[in-house]
Amino acid sequence: MATKTFLSGIQPSGRPHLGNYFGAIRQHIALQEQPGERFFFIADYHALTTSREPEKLREAVRDVAVTYLSLGLDPARSVLFRQSDIREITELSWLLACVTGMGLLERAHSYKDKTAKGIQASVGLFTYPVLMAADILAYDSDLVPVGKDQVQHVEMTQDMAASFNALYGPVFKRPECLLERAESLQKVPGLDGEKMSKSYGNDIWIFESGKALKKTVGRIVTDSRAPEEPKNPDELLLFRFLELFLAPSELALWKERVQKGGEGAPGYGHLKAALIDGMENHFAVARRRREELLADPAEVDRILERGAEQARARAVAVRDRAFKACGLR
């Protein structure tokens, strides 16, 4: 059976929160248990469609690398690299752009959503799917892990690859979506109960700890009911957080006590303390690993450089194949 190649990109959009962890990072790390090759790129080219602060972008790229390595990404089993270290990506983007119709790009959800939010419609934003297609096709990717909202990107990549192959022969491998299983995705609310987002200011940083974590958890919205008043745990925002970190048996005990109420029933302060303990324990090993990496930035650079070398070897072969097919060089 042929070895499968997995490919996923990671946006360097600032400090990662619990929504990022349970929605994507955890699934990416778990892919290492699957047979095959794994390429994870930090999408700094893509970030330029919205980022206008160079230092913040550089910091965000490094933060993504440190975060993934801290949480268990193993450079011996996965290739981690910066998108901008692979210059063949931009060459492939041009080749794909030359066979891609305007209509396909105009239908892109990401373009329509961002312009609807008032983001300036630059050429980079409009051609974003072409660059993403180059990212996917450059490594002969078989499977691209995505959520339902990202399926269109892979479908557009399939269309571009098919258009190029129809003109020049079988150059690009057709990638397929690896849809994340619904049961593996835990929806993480924000501190206010809405979707967790940095832009909403309702997020919890993965590596928050100590007094800062206590202060952040303290902002989770509750009501004014007394501890002894019986409550439905399913209606309490705090339990949506506790479900992420407590063992089922421990979670069941908390729910039972809250539902029963009466003397000795836990108040919201007790629930928040249990959440803090759960988070501290869950990320303890990763937090220590992060401190080690921050103390040795040269090691992070070496990992990214080695990853870029491995990724470029694959991208060069694909680029050369495409160049030859369409008459270049």
Q: What is the CATH number of the domain that holds 222?
A: 1.10.240.10
The answer to whether residue 91 sits within a structural domain is yes
The answer to whether 311 and 78 are in contact (CB under 8 A) is no
User: Is 0.95 surpassed by the pTM of this model?
Assistant: no
C-alpha to C-alpha distances, 70 to 25, 35, 75, 83, 150, nearest whole angstrom? 11, 22, 11, 20, 26
Based on the fold, state whether residues 227 and 121 are members of the same structural domain. Answer: no
pLDDT digit string (tens) for the chain, length 329 residues: 578 999 999 999 888 999 999 989 999 999 999 999 999 999 999 999 888 999 999 999 999 999 999 999 999 999 999 999 999 999 999 999 999 999 999 999 878 888 888 877 889 999 999 999 999 999 999 999 988 888 999 999 999 999 999 999 999 999 999 987 654 456 799 999 999 998 889 999 999 999 999 999 999 999 999 999 999 999 999 999 999 999 999 999 999 999 999 999 999 999 999 999 999 999 999 999 999 999 999 999 999 999 999 999 999 999 999 999 999 98
- CATH number of the domain that 97 lies in? 3.40.50.620
- Per the structure, the count of domains in the chain is 2
Phi, psi of 253 (to 5 degrees): -65, -45
Which ranges of 16-150 would DSSP assign to H, the alpha helix?
18-20, 26-30, 44-47, 54-70, 88-97, 102-106, 109-116, 123-126, 128-137
pLDDT at 181: 60
Q: Where are the beta strands (DSSP E) in the chain?
A: 5-10, 37-42, 79-82, 143-146, 176-179
Residue 198 bears catalytic tag:
yes
Please identify which of the residues 56, 112, 148, 195 carries the catalytic annotation. Answer: 195
Is 215 among the residues known to form the active site? no
pLDDT recorded at residue 1: 57
Residue 194 located in a structural domain: no
Please tell me the distance from the alpha carbon of residue 315 to that of residue 56, in angstroms, as a whole number: 28
Pair 156, 39 in one domain: yes
Task: Let me know if residue 231 belongs to a domain.
Answer: yes
Same domain, 80 and 175: yes
pLDDT at residue 184, as a whole number: 47
Domain that includes residue 301, residue range: 5-187+297-326
Q: Tokens 């970030």 appear where?
A: 47
Whether residue 114 lies in the annotated active site: yes
36 and 59 in a single domain? The answer is yes
